[in-house]
Each structure stands twice: as C-alpha cells, then as structure tokens.
Structure 1
Amino acid sequence: MAKIKHTSAYDVVDHVVTTAKKKKIMHLSSQEEEFNGEFLKINNEELINFGTCGYLGLEKHPDILAKSHELLDRYGSHFSISRAFVKAPYLEELENLISKIFDNHPVVIYTSTSVAHQSMIGTIIQPNDLIILDQQVHYSVQYPCQFAKLQGTMVKMIRHNSMEMLEDFIKRGYNQYDKIWYMADGVYSMYGDLPHKKELLYLLEKYPKFHLYFDDAHGVGWTGINGCGSLFEYFKHSEKVVLISTLAKGFGSIGGIAVFNDLEMHRKVDIYGGVLSYTHPLSPSNVGAAIGSAELLLSDTIHTYQNELKELMEYLNTKLDELNLTNTSSNETPIYFIGAGSAKVTHNLIQRVLADGLYVNTATYPVVPNDKTGLRFTLTRHNTKAHIDQLVHSVGKNFHLAVDEENEDLEKIYKTFNVPFKGKKTVKPVDSGNVFVETYNSINEIDSQLWDGLFKDNGNYSHNGLRCIEEIFSNNERVEENWGFHYLIIKDENNEIILATFFTSALYKDDMLALENISRKIEKQREEEPYYLCSKTLAMGSLFTEGEHLYVNEGHSLVNQALNQFFIEAENLKKATGSTVVILRDFQSDFKYHENFENEGFVKISMPNSLQLKNVTWKTPEEMLASIPSSKKRKGIRYYALRNESLFDITIKSTLTEEESKRCYELFSNVKFRNFGLNFFEYPSKIPTVLSRFEEYEFILIRLKGQEEIIASAWIYQGSLHSSPMIVGLDDNYIKTHRIYQQTVYQIIKRGRQLDKETIFCGFSADFEKQKYRAIAIPTFAYLKIQDTFNSEIINAYSNM
C-alpha cells in the first residue's frame, strides 16, 4: 500500500519544549560565576534554588574538594586507558569505599548512571528473559532496553506501580522465559513517589524466576544507613536483585554505581560488562570528590546531614499540608510535584514563582500526560526554613492566581490528580461576550442551508453527506462501528455564526498514526485481544471525512470568546462520552489560533499530507500531459495509465447492485488488510449499500475488457465545486501486472475534470503518484490531548522489537 507521512515523537517533544523555552520556564541558562547551591542566577536575577538534586548539599564540602584537588594533583586531568587493560589505582580505592556503604557488597563504578544501565542491561539480560518496565521508570533504563529487544528479549510495560498487572505478566510469562525482570525506580524522579517494596518482596519470594532491577539514583545519600538509599536494606539479602545508583545527587560527585547481591554476576560484569570495557574511567578529580564523599558518608557526620534534611522535609510537608495543594509526592522524599493540569496553568504558575525569586522545575509532556502537567521542585540542605516559607507562600498564592487567571476549574484539577478537594470552586463564568452555544446530536437537527453555507464545498461532510455518515455508523453490531455524533455551533447575539464544527466519539486504535512495522506487531496481539491498545476517542471530524473541520469567523470581534467556549464544550463532550483521547484535526500552516490550543494542553502533531488538485483546466489527456512540466512524470502517466486504459471497461454508477456492493467492499477490505500506514478499524460492510442511496456519491468500477468481475473501484463524493474520493478498492492480482492502482488514480482525476470540479481532494498517502498530476501536498496537523500516556508509551516501546 502507498506510504504516508508519519509524525515524529521527537518533533512533538521538540515543539513542547521549544514553547516552554520561549516562555522562559525551561532551557534556562545559569549565570553565576560561583555556585554555592543556595541560589541560581538566571536572567540576572538571584533565585533561591529549589531545582537541583544535590540533596545533602555536598557540592562544595571542603573535605570533598580537598580530596578532588589531591587526586588531580597526583594523577593529572585524566587516566586515558580502558579498564579492561589497566584499572586506575584510585578507582579501586573508590569501589572499596562504596562497597562499605553497601554492607560490603561488590560494586562497579561507571562514568555515569546511564552508562551503568547500558552496561548492565546489555550484559546480564539474555534473549530468553522477559523485561517488565514500570511506566515511570527513568528513561536511562528504558533506552538500553530498546537494544535488548534487538537480541530478541521481550520487553513489556505495566502501569505505574500496578502490582496486580505485574503479577499477571509474571504468571503469563512464567513458563516461557528463563528470568523475569521488573525494572523500576527507587524514588521516582518526577512525582517523588516510591515503589511498593513489601509487595515486590512478596513477589520476589513467591516466584523463583522473578528478579528486580532498581535505579535508585534519587534515593541514595540522603537516606539509609551510610546513605545506602531507600531500597538496599530491604532487598540486600536476595541474589535476584540488582541496584543501580549514582555518585551525583546525594553523593555530591559524578558517576554511576552498580551494586551486586550475586557474586558471579559481579564477576561477569567486572571482567567485561559490555560498554564498560570500552569507556574510559572517571577523571581523577571526579574520583577524588567521590572518595571524599564516600568517607563522609561512612562517618558519623552523615547522620547529622540526613537529619538536617529530614527536618526540612518535615517542615515543608507540614506547610504544604496546611495549603491543601495538589501535592502528589510521598512525604518520605525530597522531591515534590504540585499538579496544575493544563499547560496554560502550569506555565502561568511557573512564571509567577520564578518572578517571586524562586527557581522551580517545569514538569510537562512527554514525562507526564499533557493535561497532567505541574510544578516540580526539590529540597536540599542548601535550603533554609525561611526559604521554605517563601516557596510555600509563593506557590500557595500563585497556584490560585494562575488557576483563576486561566479560568480553570479548581475542583477539576484536584480530581485529575486524585487529591481530595476541600475548597470552593474558583472557576468563573466564562466572559462569553454574548456568545451563544448550540449543540446537537444529529445533523437532522440543523438547518441544511445553514450547515451547507459553511461546509458544503469542503470534503464530504455537507448536510446530506453527514446524514449518510450517521446512517453508516449507527445501529451496527460491533462497538467500533458505532459512532456518536456531536455538532457545535457558536453564535453571537445577532445569530451570526462565529465557530462551527462537529465531533465523533468512537473507539480508535491508538497506533493509528504509528509506523507500519509497529502496527503490524500490534495487530498480531489483536488477534487474541481485539481491542488491545484502543481508546475511546473524541475527534473533531471523523475517520470518514477529509478537510478543514473547524469553521472560524476570523474577523469577528468575539472569536476568542467563541474559542474559549469551544474548549469548554470539547471538555464536556470528553467527559460525557467517556473519552480518554481528544484529537482535533485537520489544520493547515496558516491556522491563526495555535497558542489558544496549546494553552489548553493540546500537543501539536503532524498528520499525513492532504493531496489536492486545484484550478485544473485541461479537458483531454493531451492537454493534461502538456500541463505537466516534468518529462519523467509525463512518461510515467503515459506508461502506467494511458497506455493501459484500453485494457479496461470503466463504468461510472451512482447506485450499485447488491452483488456490486459486496464486491466493492471486498476490494476495500483487501486494501485495508494490507494498509497499516493509517491503522483504523474496518468500516461496516453495509457502507457501499448506504452510499448508493445518496445522490452525492458515485462509484468508478473498473473491469478487464469484456469481463464481469470488478477488479478496482473508487467511491467518490461529488460536491458542487469539488470531488472527494473516499475509498479505493483493489484486486491484488492486478496491481503489478496491470498497474491497477495507477489506473484508478487516473480515472478519479479524469472524472473530476469531466465534471469540471474546481478542486479534487486526492486523499492521504501515495504523494508521489498523485503529484505526477500536479497535485499539491498540503501539510496538515492535529492537536492531541491524552488523559493517560500508558498506551502511547507501550506503542513507543514496540520500536526496534
């Protein structure tokens, strides 16, 4: 099947972060000439630092600095040789000290935690193992698992901290895999919550094949005996547990740590360890700092430092409890997350807190869902109770100001983060400016002249076209073949339309826009679970329409009020239909209201190009060829379309017989079966029969000369000024031998010219084939809001399998 353009996850993230950068809340530059941990100088302003992860505040401890200078003076800037050949003497000293922190368990030191994960996962995981990732496990763990897939290792993902789902995966894979690894964080870096240690220990003892792999980067140093962290004491007796951590954060240095409960595993990793053998060691100054830190953690001083931080945590927890904010974090960690919901509230809140002289982090998509963003901050020993008072006052004040200014529903935010709501609603009545909303559940409730005045020459969703679509996608047996229809018209007090659109609510495949190879893998799973990775989706437009689905009267003075009301109605529809995904499409580059959508928490994603032929004047094949400047394209049309046209009988009909309807559906199903580039559920089998009853639709039927069997068909909506082919059906046997697809494209365009249409919508995909005829590829995009990113993360995990 013809290829289509797919969106890139990196492009989406790039766009989200670039927007935050423009608002000066992310990708900021620090300007201080000397760092003391207490402040960050940003935009020439000294901000109290609530954003870094040096929890014990050891970055400038004199003993650590002295040891760093000592090794720098003794060994120079770098010991440039891989440890597989020669291991630096100071590295041996460091590993011995770190081992003492972890109750004399053997350790290996890496240049970073990320390198540690690459080495460990690449070394200890075997092809016949199963990896189960927690949804929130750090990206540095997930990334090397992509490479484990390449050797045949199965990688799955569970919802965050879902022990029920974890045990289900263990049971289902127990007889299939040699080992089952659950990979999780010791302290989750975004929300500041913890894994379920008791339940994991229970599963570890219950299932001999079950193993645990922890990234405790955010848990080591500030807690545990000698700073061994939040997990080690709990799991140190099991040989089925691997612990990875860092010399950064709580240690005040840099580098990665692997702690082993299994001596043989340690031997294997130490002797080779994959990437470990090919990377240079930490620099002497870094190792010196780590040695100084380790000596500090092994002394009695660590108790004082840990207690000082915990006293600050208790003070901050008490203050936050008094505010009753949407704090989702555990009281046991120095990481805090205040949920704000939509991006507009989060951005507003962050800007306000920064303006109050406090540096905090922005938690945004993709690490959190785009309607579950928020303010994240960390607590270190550099902070004081006075700092905390300033922070709590600023967040408490500005949280409500941001919610109020962005006209958001406070109670909705609390519900989003499952925090009990005790206050009063702060949502204000929208300043409608005399805009009035009309909603309908069927096109039959709307005056046809009114609707067609807005949409009749834009795709197949004229008034009568929508009557047809409603009939097709109603009263069917399968849940995915039944759609809800929702019409929205917003007017002013003089009854002038400012905004209009329609939505459909339906079950979508979440991989609809994924790469073909990913959808093919997912479809294998759907052979057992038909609705695997599917979500109830509220979409502007539908899966059977193409064109600009949103009418906006741009010159109207109340357009912004109408857009505000549009978002409110979309949110209400989302709730009423039980949808977890909202997708608003199809927009083009000249769309003026991008910021409005972005502020509501929508992420901009690329859609397949829309191919359109406009202002075509040729009447004959000769004139058509003469209008094409490329000799190569002219040659292709002659060879694949014009030369073969005499081989076929071409019939154009507005009404199909029962037998023709059945055959046309078979040909469509044949194409649909092979097409994973745009992956959606098959349309109901009654669709050709219904289309036959509506005068706007006609069918191009292609048969071999003198034969009865239809080998290709095109189902076309003919508007007054445009032609919109909706479906192409092909017989595989004639695709290569008779170039039947190229012939079908030519007949569609030829028919549009016979009817003298101003525009021929050529659909998505096969850009090259349609551009031969001078079709213009118009980039389109959509706005997406996902309530829960779990399914999308599963789909991303299918990459490289």
Structure 2
Amino acid sequence: MNPFLKALDEIKAQHSFREIQPYEHDGVFVRWGDGEPMLNLASNDYLGLQILWRDRIAEFLDHKSREGAFLSSSSSRLLSGDFPIFSQLESLIAKLYGKDCLLFNSGYHANVGMIQSLSKLSNVLFLIDEYAHASVFDGIALSRARFKRFAHNDMQALESLLAHYYNQYDNLIIVAEGLYSMDGDFAPVAKLVALKKRYDKTYIYLDEAHSIGVCGDEGLGRAKELGMSESIDFLILTFGKAISSVGACVVCTSEVKHYCVNTARSLIYSTALPPLNIAFSAYVFASLSQLAPYRIHLRALSSELKRELNACEKNYHILGEAHILSLVVGSNDRALALAKHLRAHKIFAPAIRYPSVPKESARVRICLNAALEPTHIHALIEAVRGANI
C-alpha cells in the first residue's frame, strides 16, 4: 500500500485530518468558495486592525507606494538585506522596553532560532512549560538541547527541577508564554521572576505572541503590564497577531543581540522580510498607546462571553482568562461535532484536536477581536445553547 495513503488513513481514523481551505474574509466574517459568510472566531487579529484600520492601512500603503517601498529585501540582513527601516523598528521597540531588540521573520523563526542559539551556551538546560508552542520544541529537537518539561503553570514542579538540576548545569533557562494559545491562561510571571531571583544563573524566556498589543495600558504585553519586563531575559514578541503584520523580535540585552546575530541560524540564513512589512509593524508599534479603547472593548467582550458561557450548563469545561476561550468537550469527534453545529449557525470556531492539545481535551477555541460587537457574542451564545453535543 502507498505509505502516504496509509498514514493519511491513520490520521483520519483518529479524527485528526486537516485540510488547507482557501477563503475570503474581512476580519469579522469568513467565507469558503460559494458558501455563506460566517462569523470568524478564528482570527488572531486581536485588535481588529485589518477592519478597524482599513482607511489608515490604505493611507499607509498609498504613502509607502509614493515613497517607492520595497516589496522584497532580496537578501539576508547579514548580506545586503538590512534596510534602514529594520534598525528603526528595532530602536523603537528597544526604547519602549528599555533594552535592545533583534528582528526575526516570524514567531516560529524566533523560537527555533533563539532556542538553537541559546543551546550553544555552556552546559545549558531548558525547563519548559509543557504547553509551550511547538516551535520551542522544534528548536529543542533541531539543536538536540537538553531539556525537562514541567506541568503547565506548576511552579512547585518547576522549583523542584531547579533545585534538582541547579548544581549540574551552568545555565538554566525557564521557557513559558505570557498568554497560552490553547488554554487562554496567563503564565504566573511574578512567580517565575521570584524563582529566577532565588536561583541565580537562571534565565526567563517568555513568548508574548498572544499578549503583545492586548495586555497592559500601553499594549506592551503581560510582563510589561505587571512591571516585570526588566526581569525577562528573552522576551519574544510576534507581529502576526494583534500587531496585524508579520515578523517577530526578541527583546534582550545588547550582548544577547550580538550573540544571536552570530549564532541564530534562522536569522543568518533567511532572506529578511520585505521592508514594507517592517514599516507597517513600526507604524503599529508607534500607535499602540493610542489603541486603549480597542483593548477595553475586547476585554468587555471577553468578560461577557465567559459569564454567559458559564451560565449555559452544558457538558463542557470553559478555559480562558482573556480574549482566547475554549469549550473543552473531550474527544476529537465531539469537538468536530460542536464546530460543525456552529458552522450550521454561520459561526466559524475551529475544533482543536489531539495532537495539538492533549488526548481527551479536544475543544472548540474562540478567538475574540476588537472588531466584534455584542450582537456577535449573543449569536454565539445562542448557538452554543442550542448544541446537543
């Protein structure tokens, strides 16, 4: 039998089969082919900039086209691809955080490159929250780094690892996320910082992919909101979600930046992003402090939805502390059934299944954004109430 067909049959038998489907969307609604528009609750454009900023984006593109903005860098930054806008964005972010900054092409590039780079340090051990993004574990696998997982947000388990391995390693790096993409809960940043202070030669690596732009009065992420960004050694910010652009960066010391320029393969061997995209990221970062009304609206939507879902008395468990909420139903087939029911009510909220989440924790994940209105939340709640899953 064709080995690829056999493997695909096994994936389908586990209700884990995925397909890429071309679609049209405007930020609030999504449509596949000739189908009817559905409310889009799968977008990571958390501030809704692609729709709320439609006029501003058009003005930005018009201005850049008259400037003759480049649509490709055509080279690695270490060759001829380092346009001035790259350093300008790095300087802007560095000023916001009081540290230095190094750009990467995506959150995936940043995590793989940074983990691979840090693994070259002397006698290093990574201590990784079990729910950290797949790109972190891919970086571990590619670099063959030594690591230990700890139970999600379990600080007692983490401290046990720190105590056990403290005398065996020169460098201990704790890896966590500001806001976790599947459970929608925050890392206990204050406790992480306390552990770092208790165990010297320990560093904190915090991925703020889902919290940058959304958390804090200035939208600078969870660590900054808590006044603890100075204690984070490697702060990963990605631009493809609330920043509504593409790319990523690490906020770190100048020594770390220069070290990674010389060791991070995903930076060294990748063509840099188009200067046009970098310019738009800079435009959004410069505007983040002005977007407080979007963040307030998003928090209000999230609070209302969670309150109403908790009152539904359905056979599921609700996870989420912010704008990412999940209805955990258990098996892959139940998650698929709930997602299908919602689609029948013109709501697109995808089923997240094993192996993306642990077995028997399959769910429908709801990602809210600031372009939504209370009427959209009410439509979702009514659809969930009518589900017989």
Q: Normalized against structure 1, the TM-score is what?
A: 0.45
Give the CA deviation at 1:66. Answer: 3.0
Contact persistence 1:116–1:257 (CA under 8 A): yes
SS at 2:380's partner residue?
Answer: helix
Question: What residue number does 2:196 align with?
Answer: 204
Bigger RCO (CA 8 Å, 6+ sep): 2
Give the CA deviation at 1:72. Answer: 4.9
Q: CA separation in 1, counterparts of 2:8 and 2:166?
A: 37
Q: CA separation in 2, counterparts of 1:307 and 1:179?
A: 40
Give the CA deviation at 1:127. Answer: 4.9
Give the CA deviation at 1:256. Answer: 1.0
Name the CA shift for 1:17/1:104 in 2 (closer, same or farther; >3 Å): farther
Q: CA separation in 1, counterparts of 2:10 and 2:29?
A: 28
Contact persistence 1:64–1:292 (CA under 8 A): no
Question: What residue number does 2:240 align with?
Answer: 248
Q: Does 1:63 pair with 2:52?
A: no
Q: CA separation in 1, counterparts of 2:131 and 2:38?
A: 30
Give the CA deviation at 1:80. Answer: 1.4
Give the CA deviation at 1:266. Answer: 2.2
Question: What residue number does 1:144 align with?
Answer: 139
Give the CA deviation at 1:167. Answer: 1.1
Q: CA separation in 1, counterparts of 2:58 and 2:92?
A: 17
Question: What residue number does 1:15 align with?
Answer: 11
Q: CA separation in 1, counterparts of 2:61 and 2:279?
A: 4
Question: What residue number does 1:236 align with?
Answer: 229
Match of 1:54 among 45, 57, 65: 45
Q: CA separation in 2, counterparts of 1:30 and 1:266?
A: 38
Give the CA deviation at 1:40. Answer: 0.3
Q: Does 1:130 pair with 2:125?
A: yes
Question: What residue number does 1:378 align with?
Answer: 367
Q: CA separation in 2, counterparts of 1:317 and 1:50?
A: 14
Q: Does 1:29 pair with 2:14?
A: no
SS at 1:312's partner residue?
Answer: helix
Contact persistence 2:15–2:333 (CA under 8 A): no
Question: What residue number does 2:176 align with?
Answer: 184
Give the CA deviation at 1:200. Answer: 1.2
Contact persistence 2:42–2:367 (CA under 8 A): yes
* Structure 1 unaligned regions, length at least 5: 1-6, 403-801
Q: CA separation in 2, counterparts of 1:314 and 1:186?
A: 19
Give the CA deviation at 1:79. Answer: 1.9
Pair member with larger Rg: 1
Give 1:56's aligned amino acid: L
Match of 1:278 among 230, 247, 269: 269
Q: CA deviation digits over 1:12-50, x for unaligned, max 9?
A: 8970498455xxxx5362432xx3201000251210011
Give the CA deviation at 1:221. Answer: 0.6
Q: CA separation in 2, counterparts of 1:193 and 1:135?
A: 13
Matched residue count: 378
Give 1:128's aligned amino acid: N
Cα RMSD, aligned residues only = 2.4
SS at 1:287's partner residue?
Answer: helix
Question: What residue number does 1:296 align with?
Answer: 287
Q: Normalized against structure 2, the TM-score is what?
A: 0.90
Q: CA separation in 2, counterparts of 1:364 and 1:254?
A: 26
SS at 1:319's partner residue?
Answer: helix
Name the CA shift for 1:14/1:140 in 2 (closer, same or farther; >3 Å): farther
Q: CA separation in 2, counterparts of 1:71 and 1:145?
A: 39
Question: What residue number does 2:114 align with?
Answer: 120
Q: CA separation in 2, counterparts of 1:13 and 1:135?
A: 29
Percent identity (aligned): 25
Contact persistence 1:69–1:285 (CA under 8 A): no
Give 1:213's aligned amino acid: Y
Q: How does 1:408-419 map to 2 (within 5 A)?
A: none
Q: CA deviation digits over 1:708-760, x for unaligned, max 9?
A: xxxxxxxxxxxxxxxxxxxxxxxxxxxxxxxxxxxxxxxxxxxxxxxxxxxxx
Consecutive aligned runs of 4 or more in structure 1 exceeding 6 Å deviation = none
Question: What residue number does 1:219 align with?
Answer: 211
Contact persistence 1:16–1:365 (CA under 8 A): no
Q: CA separation in 1, counterparts of 2:8 and 2:192?
A: 35
Q: Does 1:105 pair with 2:96?
A: no
Give the CA deviation at 1:174. Answer: 0.6
Contact persistence 2:319–2:328 (CA under 8 A): no
SS at 1:29's partner residue?
Answer: coil
Q: CA separation in 1, counterparts of 2:153 and 2:97?
A: 28
Give the CA deviation at 1:197. Answer: 2.1
SS at 2:72's partner residue?
Answer: coil
Q: CA separation in 2, counterparts of 1:79 and 1:159?
A: 42
Give 2:135's aligned amino acid: S
Contact persistence 1:49–1:383 (CA under 8 A): no
Q: CA separation in 1, counterparts of 2:7 and 2:154?
A: 30
* Structure 2 unaligned regions, length at least 5: none
Question: What residue number does 1:39 align with?
Answer: 29
Name the CA shift for 1:169/1:324 in 2 (closer, same or farther; >3 Å): same
Q: CA separation in 2, counterparts of 1:158 and 1:16?
A: 31
Q: CA separation in 2, counterparts of 1:279 and 1:28?
A: 25
Q: CA separation in 2, counterparts of 1:209 and 1:104?
A: 22
Give the CA deviation at 1:89. Answer: 1.1
Q: How does 1:301-380 map to 2 (within 5 A)?
A: 301-325=290-314, 326-331=316-321, 333-380=322-369
Give the CA deviation at 1:339. Answer: 1.1
Name the CA shift for 1:386/1:118 in 2 (closer, same or farther; >3 Å): same
